[in-house]
Amino acid sequence: MARDSVSKQARVVMTLLARAEESGDVELEAAAAEFDVKINALTKWVEDFVYLERRLLTGELFSPPVTFVIEDGSLIRHGNNRSIRDLVTKPPPIEVAVGLLIAATQYITMYDDPDQDGLHYPLISAINILRKIVGQEYPATAKAPELLADVEESIGTRGRSRAQIIRYMKDDFSVSERTVEIHQTYSIGGYWYAKLLDCGDGNEKSFRIDRILEISDGGYYFPTAPTGEIPDSFDLSELANRVTVRTDDEALDALPNGVEIDKQTTLGDGRVEVELIVYGESRLDHLLLAIGPNAEVVGPPEMIERRAAHAASLLSTYLT
């Protein structure tokens, strides 16, 4: 096998150091297979770095404690001290910087107590650097609902959590009281959710936290559930309804949240014909009226009838 270039060696070492710093121990044998390098060669490259750090402990170049060690065939981060990444002078590519800026801005909006957090001011400083790289400021995207802190408080960090009683308003605006065991909170698409066990029917569900009206103690402990990876999105395909509408283009800007425009055709009369997808029955009813009286529902036929019936039903409450 040809000798690997120093450039490749450096890239591999930097990658492994990044993994060891960010994700934990790196098994060198698996890494050798991944990078198609003999284990002895890879170990030597990593040793060059690790033992360099140890020699630097003598005060020749640096004095802080060592950051990485090799132990039982793994590259291990040792403490949260210095790294050759401290020396990097090149700013990240703009795509990376945008991602970092959004994450940092969102984080500091949620956890903004400088007294509790030694990294608060460094994060502000990092945000300012990233804003210069990106050339803009990104506002935070997920606002915390009022009861988020109360919901999170019920999740224990020492192995046991406290059951809660919540009053919850569903999409159809019905309110119910439920005893729940909350497992974790998460945010996707700008909304916050509580993943929980609904003790009423024994099913695991995700509830929007901004729809929780009240939360109170449920009276018992349960083992804290392991946190799971948050989904990319919810699969609502079973709830999808399609409706075809003709309307002026401006009306599309005012479509309710969650409505998707699937197909769009420009008509000769200044209007557009769009096929819309909406998830759930109550959202469908809302959409059929929200498009306004100047919009024409052209299909399917049951949607035309549904719109008229729903409008008549609401109208009756104003005419009595």
Partner 1 sequence: MPNAPDERGSALERTLILAAWFASRRGSPTTLHDITDNFPEYADSDSEASRRMLRRDLQLIEDDLQIEIEWDNANSIYTVKPPVFTRDERASLLRAMGTVRVDGIAEDADETEIGHARDQSAAQIAVRLPLIVSELNAPIRDRQMVEFWYKKGERRRVEPHRIGRGGVAWYLLARDKKDGAIKHFRLDRILEVPGAPAIVAVGELGAFEVPDNRDLAGEFDVDPNEWGRDTPLEAEVAMSRDLATIFCSTVVGARISSEQGGNAIVSVTVRHYAAFLNRILSFGSNVRLENPPELVEMLISSLKQMSGAK
Which parts of 250-289 interact with partner 1 (CB under 8 A)?
Answer: 252-254, 256-258, 261, 264, 266, 272, 282, 285-286, 288-289
Among positions 86, 112, 262, 302, the unique one binding partner 1 when judged by CB under 8 A: 86
Q: Return the closest-CA partner of residue 241 out of 286, 265, 276, 273.
A: 276
| Phi, then psi, of 226 in degrees rounded to 5 | -65, 145
Among positions 292, 299, 300, 302, the unique one binding partner 1 when judged by CB under 8 A: 292
Per the listing, tokens 């024409």 go with 296
* Contact (Cβ atoms closer than 8 angstroms) between residue 214 and residue 168: no
If phi over 0 gives left and psi between -120 and 50 gives alpha, with beta otherwise, what is residue 147?
alpha
* Comparison of 53 and 181: residue with beta carbon closer to partner 1: 53
* Comparison of 91 and 200: residue with beta carbon closer to partner 1: 91
Q: How far is the CB of 274 from partner 1 (least distance, A)?
A: 10
Is position 230 an interface residue for partner 1 (rule: CB under 8 A)?
Answer: yes
Q: At residue 299, what is the residue type?
A: G
* Comparison of 180 and 291: residue with beta carbon closer to partner 1: 291
Per-residue binding letters, 179-218, with partner 1 (x by CB under 8 A): -----xxxxxxxx------------------xx-x-----
Pick out residues in 147-166 that bind partner 1 (CB under 8 A): none
| Phi, then psi, of 98 in degrees rounded to 5 | -60, -45
Could you tell me where the beta strands, DSSP code E, fall in the chain? 26-27, 68-71, 74-77, 160-169, 175-188, 191-198, 203-208, 212-223, 240-248, 260-266, 271-279, 296-299
Pick out residues in 48-77 that bind partner 1 (CB under 8 A): 48-49, 52, 55-56, 58-62
* Contact (Cβ atoms closer than 8 angstroms) between residue 269 and residue 218: no
Pick out residues in 97-156 that bind partner 1 (CB under 8 A): 98-100, 102-104, 106-108, 110-111, 118-120, 122-123, 125-126, 129, 133-142, 145-146
* Cα R_g (the chain), whole angstroms: 28
* Comparison of 40 and 219: residue with beta carbon closer to partner 1: 40
Kindly state the number of chain residues that form the binding site for partner 1, as judged by CB under 8 A. Answer: 125
Cα–Cα dist 11/5, whole Å: 10
Among positions 70, 73, 78, 92, the unique one binding partner 1 when judged by CB under 8 A: 92
Altogether, the residues listed in the chain come to a count of 320
Q: How far is the CB of 225 from partner 1 (least distance, A)?
A: 13
Per-residue binding letters, 4-23, with partner 1 (x by CB under 8 A): --xx-xxx-xxx--xx-xxx
Q: How far is the CB of 220 from partner 1 (least distance, A)?
A: 25
Cα–Cα dist 138/121, whole Å: 18
Pick out residues in 301-320 that bind partner 1 (CB under 8 A): 307-315, 317-319
